[in-house]
């Protein structure tokens, strides 16, 4: 198992807050809170995931990604409030990491988010076997690509796509896999939507939308578990593969 979706249930409002004076834009603003909750589960058995990751060319790659908190919410000022069902999906190329999470949720039946211990009421696998070499995908969390001087690339810029490709090759190298792969990605420009969010104290620009990917099925599957673009372990670049009739 390399991917799980957990469903939590908030009988009382699940209220998360940013630092004073920072207005909440969406659930993406709390990716750092979710990331911290995931790392806390891995800390005892797999501390190196946080501390070092998987090294390639002197850079760490942590080879996992997760979705935003998904559910009905209201927001006001620096606060967001969920109530009822709240879901979270986590994926990794490492079976051991996802297995550790699954065992934790089965044992503890909850997840600590900020000041709240939220009951987990369901866990399911979201593993995929990719057989096609061209698929249409839709982002669950937006894709971000950044360069020097805090520049964030737009899908209208060629660097957006060349950096997705180079990032893929680096992640494959970090996973000790063949990284001389053929890869193409094409946006459906009509579906693209810019997302402005804040990770910790840093402003991030990212993009939701539909894309066509052409690559070997094993490469597409690798991306499914690790995400597209930068900052995957901060909750960016997760996508779903659309049914064939939507391709």
DSSP line for 113-177: ETTEEEEEEEEEE-------SEEEEEESS-B--B-GGG-B--TTSHHHHHHHHHHHHHHHHHTTS
Give the end of a domain, one of 93, 125, 157.
Answer: 125
**Contact call for residues 74 and 80 (beta carbons, < 8 A):** yes
Q: What is the pLDDT of residue 50?
A: 87
Whether residues 149 and 230 share a domain: the answer is: yes
**Residue 20 confidence class, pLDDT cut points 50, 70, 90:** confident
**Residue 114 confidence class, pLDDT cut points 50, 70, 90:** confident
How confident is the model over 192-209, as a mean pLDDT? 94
Q: Which domain holds residue 235?
A: 134-246
Whether residues 90 and 10 share a domain: the answer is: yes
Helix, strand, coil percentages in the chain from 3-state DSSP, rounded to 5: 30, 40, 30
Structural domains counted in the chain: 2
Alpha carbon 139 to its chain centroid, in Å, reads 10
Q: What is the pLDDT of residue 176?
A: 94
Q: Is pLDDT above 80 for 73?
A: yes
How confident is the model over 148-173, as a mean pLDDT? 94
How confident is the model over 171-198, as a mean pLDDT? 96
What CATH number did the domain enclosing 139 receive?
3.30.70.1900
Whether residues 17 and 78 share a domain: the answer is: yes
Q: Is pLDDT above 70 for 163?
A: yes
Q: What is the pLDDT of residue 22?
A: 84
What CATH number did the domain enclosing 104 receive?
3.30.70.1890
Q: Give the containing element (helix H, strand E) for 65.
A: strand 64-66
Q: What is the pLDDT of residue 168?
A: 98
How confident is the model over 28-49, as a mean pLDDT? 94
Q: Is pLDDT above 70 for 58?
A: yes
Q: What is the pLDDT of residue 246?
A: 56
Whether residues 97 and 183 share a domain: the answer is: no
Q: Is pLDDT above 80 for 247?
A: no
How confident is the model over 130-155, as a mean pLDDT? 94
Phi/psi at 104 (nearest 5 deg)? -60, -45
**Residue 245 confidence class, pLDDT cut points 50, 70, 90:** low
Q: Which of 127, 132, 148, 140 is nearest to 228 (CA)?
A: 140
| Mean pLDDT for the chain overall | 94
């Amino acid at each position: 198992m390399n991917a799980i979706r957990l469903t939590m249930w908030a009988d009382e409002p699940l209220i998360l807050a940013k630092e004073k004076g920072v207005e909440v834009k969406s659930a993406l603003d709390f990716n750092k809170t979710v990331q911290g909750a995931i790392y806390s589960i891995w800390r005892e058995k797999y501390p190196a995931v946080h501390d070092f990751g998987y090294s390639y060319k002197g850079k760490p790659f942590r080879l996992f990604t997760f979705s935003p908190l998904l559910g009905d919410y209201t927001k006001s000022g620096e606060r967001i409030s969920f109530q009822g069902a709240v879901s979270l999906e986590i994926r990794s190329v490492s079976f051991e990491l996802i297995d550790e999470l699954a065992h934790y949720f089965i044992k503890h039946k909850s997840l600590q988010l900020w000041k709240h211990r939220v009951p987990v009421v369901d866990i399911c696998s979201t593993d995929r076997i990719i057989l096609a070499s061209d698929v249409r995908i839709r982002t669950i969390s937006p894709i971000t690509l950044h360069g020097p001087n805090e520049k964030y690339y737009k899908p209208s810029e060629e660097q957006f796509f060349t950096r997705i490709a180079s990032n893929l090759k680096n992640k494959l190298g970090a996973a000790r896999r063949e990284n001389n792969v053929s890869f193409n990605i094409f946006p459906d420009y009509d579906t693209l939507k810019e997302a402005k969010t804040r990770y910790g104290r840093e402003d991030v620009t990212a993009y939701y939308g539909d894309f066509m990917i052409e690559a070997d099925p094993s490469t597409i599957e690798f991306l499914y578990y690790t995400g597209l673009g930068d900052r995957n372990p901060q909750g960016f670049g997760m996508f779903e593969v659309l049914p064939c009739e939507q391709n």
